[in-house]
């Protein structure tokens, strides 16, 4: 494990441990979450060394790498994924009618395939070999390994998207710098993140599935993400909700708590979270739309 003595974003030494969280999904190990008092970032600390992170994804139940909708959770995930794909397309096509899109962390490629079928020029980055190979063989997409991100040409994409990916990245500042470099001057950078100050996060606390330690290394509140964007010369032009995430994350959280009637409890939790967030803006997951300053 690697212990951080400073904030991984702003390098402040003003950091404090805030919570102990268990990896309910896979390893059952415990991890601490720390908070930077200067930039508001929450981060997993200590965290696995980069070369050992892959083992924490090594499960047939890690659904973004899977191609089968087995089980109730799997069926719900794939149902919501289809809804979200259409919503994501609507958001992006309002920014650009068509163009060149890069989806970083594209998984098995369903989103890019949706764009490809609508005449977009599509590229993907995916670290998981089986997911990457499925996207290439099943959808004939151009999907490359993560290290190839550094080799992409300057200002070459109209849209760069990272849907629930940045929280997994060991070096957040490097990823933001690379994305800004390869983004067209008139392009848009779209990042979706779980929101650790959402009503469902506050309700479930250490059981909140959006923490997903140690796969999630950073946990961005809106305040923390705004500071990150400013640090890298990026302007947030819109913040949008992913309302369906409240229901899915609540269901996982109920399973982690081992409650009775988890489906009913999750539905009520998701509904209450979205109702509260309609006033505060703190939805379970938020989409940030950015441009270069």
pLDDT tens digits for range 179-227: 999 999 999 999 999 999 999 999 999 999 999 999 999 999 999 999 9
* CATH code, residues 62-212+235-292: 3.40.50.150
Q: Is the pLDDT of residue 235 over 60?
A: yes
pLDDT for 65 equals 45
pLDDT for 6 equals 97
In angstroms, the CA 209 to CA 69 distance is 19
Q: Is the pLDDT of residue 240 over 60?
A: yes
Q: Please indicate whether residue 59 or residue 57 has the higher confidence score (pLDDT).
A: 57
pLDDT tens digits for range 137-172: 999 999 999 999 999 999 999 999 999 999 999 999
pLDDT for 2 equals 93
Q: Please indicate whether residue 75 or residue 289 has the higher confidence score (pLDDT).
A: 289
**Mean of pLDDT values over 77-83:** 79
Bridge partners for 31 per DSSP? 21
Q: What are the two backbone dihedrals, phi and then psi, of residue 118, each rounded to the nearest 5 degrees? A: -115, 25
Q: Is the pLDDT of residue 59 over 50?
A: yes
pLDDT for 177 equals 97
Please count the other Cβ atoms lying within 10 Å of the Cβ belonging to residue 103: 27
In angstroms, the CA 268 to CA 44 distance is 29
pLDDT for 68 equals 54
**Mean of pLDDT values over 66-77:** 61
Closest of 252, 246, 238, 236 to residue 278, by C-alpha:
246
pLDDT for 42 equals 98
Q: Is the pLDDT of residue 70 over 90?
A: no
Share of the chain above pLDDT 70, in %: 95
In angstroms, the CA 197 to CA 219 distance is 10
Q: Is the pTM of this model over 0.85?
A: yes
């Amino acid at each position: 494990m690697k212990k951080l003595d400073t904030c991984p974003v702003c390098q402040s030494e003003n950091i404090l441990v805030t919570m102990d969280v268990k990896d309910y999904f896979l390893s059952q190990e415990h991890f601490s979450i720390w908070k930077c008092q200067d930039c508001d970032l929450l981060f997993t600390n200590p965290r696995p060394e980069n070369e050992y992170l892959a083992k924490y994804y090594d499960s047939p139940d890690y659904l973004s790498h899977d191609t089968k909708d087995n089980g109730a959770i799997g069926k719900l995930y794939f149902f919501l994924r289809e809804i979200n794909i259409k919503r994501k397309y609507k958001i992006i096509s309002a920014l650009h009618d068509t163009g060149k899109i890069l989806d970083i962390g594209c998984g098995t490629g369903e989103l890019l395939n949706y764009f490809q079928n609508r005449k977009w020029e599509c590229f993907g980055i995916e670290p998981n070999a089986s997911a990457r190979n499925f996207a290439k063989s099943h959808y004939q997409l151009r999907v490359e390994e993560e290290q190839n991100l550094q080799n992409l040409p300057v200002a070459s994409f109209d849209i760069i998207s990272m849907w629930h990916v940045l929280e997994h990245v060991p070096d957040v500042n490097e990823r933001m710098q690379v994305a800004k470099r390869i983004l067209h001057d008139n392009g848009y950078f779209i990042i979706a993140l779980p929101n650790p100050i959402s009503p469902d996060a506050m309700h479930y606390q250490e059981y909140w599935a959006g923490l997903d330690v140690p796969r999630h290394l950073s946990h961005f509140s809106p305040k923390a993400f705004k500071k990150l964007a400013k640090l890298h010369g990026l302007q947030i032009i819109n913040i949008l909700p992913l309302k369906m995430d409240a229901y899915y994350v609540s269901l996982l959280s109920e399973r982690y708590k081992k409650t009775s009637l988890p489906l009913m409890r999750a539905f009520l939790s998701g509904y209450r979270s979205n109702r509260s967030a309609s006033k505060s803006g703190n939805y379970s997951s938020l989409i940030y739309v950015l441009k270069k300053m």
